[in-house]
Structure 1
C-alpha cells in the first residue's frame, strides 16, 4: 500500500528517553533539521511533544514515501513535508537550522559520508545551535558493551565501510567546523545521545 507506514520497534523503545534529552537541550523555538529520519516515527513523536519546534525530516529518496505516510497521518502543523537529503552528495548551501538531530545514522554511513555530514552541519547550523546524535558510540576505541561489539561486527559484515564510530573521531570533525562538545547522555540499551553546540 502506498500509504502504509513503516514501523521499527526500536523507535518505540527509544523515543521517550531521547525526547527527555531533547526537552533539556532544544529549549527555544526554532527549526530542527533531522538527518536520516528512517521510518518517520521519531519525527512525528518529537514534533507532537515539542510544539515550540518546527521539525524538518530528511532521508534518501526511497524512504520518503514511508516518512510522508507518518507525517500526513499526524496532521501536525509544526511537522514539515519530508525532503530528500543524501549526506554523501548533499549541497548544504541554503540549508539553515537552529538544531540538528540524527538517530542511528553515522554508524551505517561510510566515513566519507560522515565527514561530509559534519561539514554540512558547519554550513547550516545557526550560531548557538545544537546538534544531537543518538546511537551507539565507542570511546578511545573501546566498546561500551559486549552487545555493541556484536552489533559492530554485524554492521561490518553487512557493509565493511560502516561501523560504530569513535567519539574522539566525531569530536575532531565537530571541532573542525566550529562545534564544541557539551554533554553525553547515557541511555538504555547501551546507546547515548551526544550534544554539540555551534560556537
Structure 2
C-alpha cells in the first residue's frame, strides 16, 4: 500500500527552532489554526509537544490534506482535528474562531492575495492579544538578499510570476490594516524570520 504522507526536508531542520518560539507565544489551552499545513509534519510535531492545545490543520491542496490526515493517523494524537480545505485568499473561511494562528512557509509560495486574506481573516478570527505567527524568508529594507534567498526567490518567480519573497514592510503594513501591531521579529536558521503579530484593541 502506498504511503500517502508527504515529506518536506526543511521540516526536520526548522521544526525545533519554530517550536521554541511557539512554546513562548501560544496560549496554554485553546485552538491553534494552522494555515497552509502542507505535508502535515509540522502540526503533528507541535501537537505532540503541546498536548494541552488543540490544533486545526488546513490547506487548499487535496494532496496536502491527504498527507496531513495520514500524518495525524500515524501520530495517534487526539489533539489534532481532521484537516480542512482552506484557501487563505477566500472571502470566507471554514473556521470561525481560533485562539492562535500559525502559518509556515506560505507567503512566498502563494499569490499576494493569500497574504491579504490571511491578515484580513486573522484580524476577524483572533481575540484581542492573540498571536499570529509567520515563518519564512523576507526581503528587508537596506539589506541585500543572502545568496541562498536570492536564488530561491529567482526559482520561485520562474515557477510562478505571482510568487517570490515579499518585502517585510509590505507584510507588516497589511497586518496593521487588519488590526495587528508591530511584529516581534526573531532571526531563524537558514536566513528565515519568525514574525509574531498580536491582535490589537478592537475599535
Q: Is TM > 0.5 for Structure 1 vs Structure 2?
A: yes
Q: Please state whether the residue corresponding to 2:129 is helix, strand or coil.
A: strand
1:151 is the counterpart of 2:158: no
Residue of structure 2 equivalent to 1:123:
124
Distance 1:152 1:197 in 2: 28
Residue of structure 2 equivalent to 1:28:
28
Distance 2:23 2:109 in 1: 26
Structure 1 residues 95 and 189, CA gap change in structure 2 (3 angstroms): same
Q: Please state whether the residue corresponding to 1:107 is helix, strand or coil.
A: helix
Deviations 1:115-155 (A, max 9, x none): 12211111211211100101101112744412111111111
Residue of structure 1 equivalent to 2:178:
177
Distance 2:3 2:76 in 1: 14
What's the TM-score, normalizing by structure 1? 0.94
Distance 2:143 2:37 in 1: 28
**8 Å contact 2:87–2:93 — kept in the other structure?**
no
Residue of structure 2 equivalent to 1:13:
13
**8 Å contact 1:64–1:84 — kept in the other structure?**
yes
Deviations 1:23-61 (A, max 9, x none): 111142111100000000000000000112111000014
How is 1:31-50 mapped onto 2 (pairs within 5 angstroms)? 31-50=31-50
What's the TM-score, normalizing by structure 2? 0.92
The structure whose residues are more often strand, as a share, is: 1
Residue of structure 1 equivalent to 2:194:
193
5+ long unaligned stretches in structure 2:
none
Q: Please state whether the residue corresponding to 2:73 is helix, strand or coil.
A: helix
Distance 1:45 1:178 in 2: 30
How is 1:28-177 mapped onto 2 (pairs within 5 angstroms)? 28-62=28-62, 63-92=64-93, 95-140=96-141, 142-177=143-178
Number of residues of Structure 1 aligned to a counterpart in Structure 2 = 199
Structure 1 residues 124 and 83, CA gap change in structure 2 (3 angstroms): same
Structure 1 residues 130 and 163, CA gap change in structure 2 (3 angstroms): same
Distance 2:113 2:171 in 1: 12
